[in-house]
Amino acid sequence: MTAPTGEVFDIMLDGKPVRVRAGANLGATLHTLMQGHLRDTASGQPRGLFCGMGVCFDCVVLIDGVPARACLTTVAPDMNVVRSAGRSS
Ligand code: FES
């Protein structure tokens, strides 16, 4: 994992550009931006960071169309992140 630096760039989050800090953890970034709400379950229950270390899968989002755990991901320029709604991935 890379430590955040002073460099900033945009990623796309649910179709909108958001400014992030290079080297930042995506899960922590989304937790801050979305006030902890990373996705919804099929029954509509909100989910966010739980374990923070890749075990629970509660932080799964689509990154460039591929399901991935946000807590294990470092932000990258032009990353396209879509929060899952109503499904487990
Ligand atoms: S918060 Fe548990 S896998 Fe990411």
Residue 77, domain CATH:
3.10.20.30
pTM of the model as a whole: 0.86
What spacing in Å lies between the alpha carbon of 48 and ligand 1's midpoint? 8
Among 59, 73, 74, 83, say which to mutate for ligand 1: greatest number of ligand atoms within 8 Å of CB.
59
- Return the pLDDT at 89: 45
Total number of residues shown for the chain:
89
d(CA 68, CA 8): 22
List the one residue out of 87, 72, 85 whose CA is nearest residue 15: 85
Q: Is 63 a domain residue?
A: yes
Count of the separate structural domains present in the chain? 1
pLDDT in tens, 7-55: 999 999 999 999 999 999 999 999 998 888 888 888 888 899 999 999 9
Report the pocket of ligand 1 as residue ranges, CB < 6 Å.
27, 49-52, 54-59, 69, 71
Domain housing 24: 8-83
71 phi and psi, to 5 degrees?
A: -70, -15
Beta partners for residue 17, in sequence order: 12
- Return the pLDDT at 63: 96
Q: Is 89 a domain residue?
A: no
State how far the alpha carbon of 20 is from the alpha carbons of 29, 55, 89, in Å.
7, 25, 23
Q: Is 1 a domain residue?
A: no
